[in-house]
A and B are shown apart, each in its own frame.
Chain A
Amino acid sequence: SQKIEQNSEALNIQEGKTATLTCNYTNYSPAYLQWYRQDPGRGPVFLLLIRENEKEKRKERLKVTFDTTLKQSLFHITASQPADSATYLCAPTGTASKLTFGTGTRLQVTL
């Protein structure tokens, strides 16, 4: 069955450093992959979408890569700030009609 795994432990990093979050998937071939941010008690907010024929996508301090051979996406936040603290969800998706989220990674950025 399809499986989507993200860093199971919380990721703690110091302000100003680069945070790197991992999303690994098995048993399917997504046409695209999305990343969302979720704050406690709130709905997820879309951050970036990358398609299977794209290797890398950037938006301000965010960068995402998509390696269909490794079945992995990496999500980077450069110059991280305490306001970046949240749970980050990846969603590799093979069909336009539904999203299946990964387990999520909780990021904590400290001063």
Chain B
Amino acid sequence: DTEVTQTPKHLVMGMTNKKSLKCEQHMGHRAMYWYKQKAKKPPELMFVYSYEKLSINESVPSRFSPECPNSSLLNLHLHALQPEDSALYLCATKKGDTYNEQFFGPGTRLTVL
């Protein structure tokens, strides 16, 4: 199985809501990533988990809270978001700490009203 799945595909939420994005992989990859992508811009790194531990936080606001409950799952908990947080949120995985390619999921299109 060489697939990274993300749920939901689309999410609309109000600024007071709490929601979560989910990412799942069964490739045995030990590095997992969250990216944010705005229209006509490249993906921007948010968080990196290595062996289920948070290794990089690119100064992301605390209204975004990542979680890696096990080696196959990555969550992004959302709370009190702003309209400017509307974007495509991408999950990616990579085999270990080496210079390998990343495998991306299809993304969750988030709209904050």
A contact residues vs B (CB 8 Å cutoff) = 31-32, 34, 41-46, 49, 51, 89, 93, 96-104
Check B1 for interface membership: any CB of A closer than 8 A: no
Q: Are A49 and B99 in contact (CB under 8 A)?
A: yes
Given A42-B106, A43-B90, A97-B55, CB of A104 within 8 Å of CB of B99:
no
Which B17-66 residues have C-beta < 8 A from chain A?
Answer: 31, 33, 41-45, 48, 50, 55-56
A-B contact pairs, 13 of them (CB 8 A): A41-B107, A42-B107, A46-B101, A46-B102, A51-B99, A96-B99, A97-B31, A97-B48, A97-B97, A98-B56, A101-B43, A103-B41, A104-B42
Check B79 for interface membership: any CB of A closer than 8 A: no
Q: B90 — nearest CB in chain A belongs to which residue?
A: A43
Q: Are A99 and B45 in contact (CB under 8 A)?
A: yes
Chain A residues positioned under 8 Å from B97 (CB to CB): 96-97
- Total interface residues on B, CB under 8 Å, equals 27
Chain B residues positioned under 8 Å from A32 (CB to CB): 99
Chain B residues positioned under 8 Å from A31 (CB to CB): 99
Q: Are A49 and B106 in contact (CB under 8 A)?
A: no
Chain A residues positioned under 8 Å from B99 (CB to CB): 31-32, 49, 51, 93, 96
B contact residues vs A (CB 8 Å cutoff) = 4, 31, 33, 41-45, 48, 50, 55-56, 88, 90, 92, 97-107, 109
What is the bound-complex CA distance between A43 and B33, given in angstroms? 13
Task: Name the prevailing secondary structure of the A interface residues.
Answer: loop
Q: Are A43 and B55 in contact (CB under 8 A)?
A: no
Interface core residue of B4, B44, B101, B104 (most chain A CB under 10 Å): B101
Q: A43 — nearest CB in chain B belongs to which residue?
A: B104
What is the bound-complex CA distance between A79 and B56, given in angstroms? 41
What is the bound-complex CA distance between A42 and B103, given in angstroms? 12
Tell me the smallest distance from the CB of B109 to a CB of chain A, in Å.
7
What is the bound-complex CA distance between A45 and B4, given in angstroms? 12
Interface core residue of B43, B88, B100, B104 (most chain A CB under 10 Å): B43
Chain B residues positioned under 8 Å from A98 (CB to CB): 33, 45, 48, 56
